[in-house]
Amino acid sequence: MLLLLKKEWRQRKGNTFISKLEPIHWFAVLYVVLFLVCAPWAAEWTQLWVWNNSQPYPWSVLSAHFAHWSWPHFWTNLCAFITFLAIYGRYLSARSFLTYCLAIIISCDVYLHFAYERAFYLGFSSILYGLFSIAALIHFKTTKVISLAVIGFLIFKSLSQWLMPIDNNLYGIAVASDVHIVGMLTGVGLFIVITVKQARI
């Protein structure tokens, strides 16, 4: 009797929502937690997480990408991230998702350290540009209409941001269009590397 009860409990446990979550979902939850930790609760709090070009905190190489200047800035990027997961999350493994994110963050941090000219940087947009670009290119065959729309949108936004002055404001903060483009180009670069690697197999 005890064994039957234990077996039934395990079966019920196996059917719970949490047990059905894939590893990528747990990474997504972690990202949302980072969003909330670095959220714009107060100006002094936000300053702890931003990339300061004159004297950056060591942790800002990561935290700056999850910090946001205002709540509209926060919600826009969070909704865009959820949209990304809704479109492409089913096609990505946790390993590929984490690899893409790390590559985008590292490339953007290198740019921030050596070429960025503004006083500070914060926001998840550059990661979004990179994630959307590589996912749309890799999974184009399975999501042609959506991916074509995503690619068109990225090209339009990148060209418009490239042509407009960097001090144009959005959500009360200057748009770091150059970092967005670095993120997108990193995604394109990852796609090229993966395509070449697969062609050699």
Q: What is the pLDDT of residue 190?
A: 95
Residue 184 lies in a domain: yes
Global pTM reads 0.85
In angstroms, the CA 11 to CA 200 distance is 44
Residue range of the domain that includes 190: 23-200
CATH number at residue 52: 1.20.1540.10
Q: Count Cβ neighbours within 10 Å for each residue of 178-201 and write b for 16 or more, e otherwise.
A: bbbbbbbbbbebbbeebeeeeeee
* Mean pLDDT within 118-146: 93
pLDDT category, 41, cuts 50, 70, 90? very high
Q: Identify whether 177 is part of a domain.
A: yes
pLDDT at 54: 83
Q: Is the pLDDT of residue 102 over 90?
A: yes
- Tokens at 45, concatenated: 């709090």
pLDDT tens across 12-37, in order? 555 554 555 677 778 888 999 999 99
Q: For residue range 71-92, what is the model confidence (pLDDT) as tens digits?
A: 999 999 999 999 999 999 989 9
The tally of domains found in the chain comes to: 1
In this predicted structure, what is the pLDDT of residue 16?
54
